[in-house]
Amino acid sequence: MRAAVIQELKGPDAIQVLDVAEPLGAHPRAKGGRLLVEVHAAGLSFIDPLQTRGGYQNGVSVPYTVGSEVAGVVLEAPPASGFAPGDRVGGIIWQGGIAERALALPDYTVKLPDSMSYVEGAALYMNYATAWYAYRRAGVRPGETVLVQGAAGGVGTAALDLAASFGARAVALVSTDEKAEVARRCGADVVVRSDGPWLEEVREVTAGGVQVVLDPVGGDRFTDSLRSLRIGGRLVVIGFTGGSIPEVKVNRLLHRNLTVTGITMDQMELEHPGTLAEVRAGVETLAHAGALHPYVGRTYPFEEASAAVRSLEERSAIGKVVVTVR
């Protein structure tokens, strides 16, 4: 079968489309349960460019197949997994996605509604599971206002799309006019530019601040994200696409009764079994209700997998980047 393979950790330009053996056994994280998927489209995330340089904390050794998310048709499924051959599915697999067949994980896979294309399906679970879990961890209530950092990225667009399902008002923070338009299309009630006095503008449009910040960016915006919160507000740390990990002066939390929490679903599952099932059910239910609309910024053909991953490394991507496999 064909696959987009990294043989040397030299970045996206090292990706080659090669003929490789079909995957045997089960996904390393699947505890022996073989869920084999015929891949129609593969989604990319921040994981992919990092892994090509050996920079992802849970990375794998070379050679490996690139692609952190897939959508396609089940070929083989373990007993009692809830999946069967012929099911249309999408899910997170961390690596192995840009290939004609891939091993998936039942805990990180959902059934796709018939109304959703495979390209959209490859843009569904990683971003929406992350954003859905962030809303749940923040305890977002109807009527509250949520500030979404990095609002034109994969997780950001998903968070904007989910706001209505949680009864929240969404304020999007973006850096360009093009990203502002994407944010509006994805459900932002208000859009603010990050290249201006954004903190003052957020306070103005929200009459004093927001109840929740969802932050996949980190970096030097973090302190102002805390300042944008109303008393008793909550900030969810999702990631650090801004490149640096911020530090918190905890007196800010003390004096304003703020809460900062992080999210990592698989780690939470270790202490609180059922977390993954709850997230999966939440996303799948909304998808089948027609409430989710994954935003795909650009698709690339199989042969341009290298360019697709490079677009994430160069931060030129908007929304989800998807590689079509068949």
- For the segment 116-131, what is each residue's pLDDT rounded down to a tens digit? 999 999 999 999 999 9
pLDDT of residue 62: 92
Which pLDDT does position 46 carry in this prediction?
86
Per-residue confidence (pLDDT) for residue 10, from 0 to 100: 94
Confidence class of residue 243 from pLDDT cuts 50, 70 and 90?
A: low
pLDDT of residue 291: 97
pTM score above 0.85: yes
Instruction: List, for residues 22-78, the tens digit of each pLDDT value.
Output: 999 999 999 899 999 999 999 999 889 999 999 887 778 899 999 999 999 999 999
β-sheet bridge partners, residue 173? 192
What pLDDT shows up at residue 239? 83
Query: pLDDT-based confidence at 220, cuts 50/70/90?
Result: confident
- Nearest CA to 324 among 291, 301, 293? 301
Name the pLDDT band for 245 (thresholds 50, 70, 90).
confident
Numbered ranges of CATH 3.40.50.720 in the chain: 127-267
pLDDT at 55: 85
Which one, of 109, 113, 95, lies nearest residue 45 by Cα?
95
Q: What is the DSSP letter of 208?
A: S
Model confidence pLDDT, tens digit, residues 264-293: 988 899 999 999 999 999 999 999 999 999
Position 77 scores a pLDDT of: 97
Query: For residue 177, what are its two tokens?
Result: 């006019």
Range 233-247 average pLDDT: 85
Q: What is the CATH number assigned to the segment(s) 127-267? A: 3.40.50.720
Question: Residues 71-87: what's their mean pLDDT?
Answer: 96
Averaged confidence pLDDT in the chain: 94
Q: Which CATH architecture has domain 2-124+294-324?
A: Alpha-Beta Complex (3.90)
Residues carrying CATH 3.90.180.10, the chain? 2-124+294-324
Confidence of residue 299 (pLDDT cuts 50, 70, 90): very high
The helix/strand/coil state of 37 is strand
pLDDT (tens digit per residue) in 160-203? 999 999 999 999 999 999 999 999 999 999 999 999 999 999 99
How far CA 86 is from CA of 35, 118, 163, in Å, comes to 12, 14, 32
Q: What is the pLDDT of residue 21?
A: 96
Share of the chain above pLDDT 90, in %: 85
Q: What CA–CA distance (Å, rounded) separates 172 from 179?
A: 10
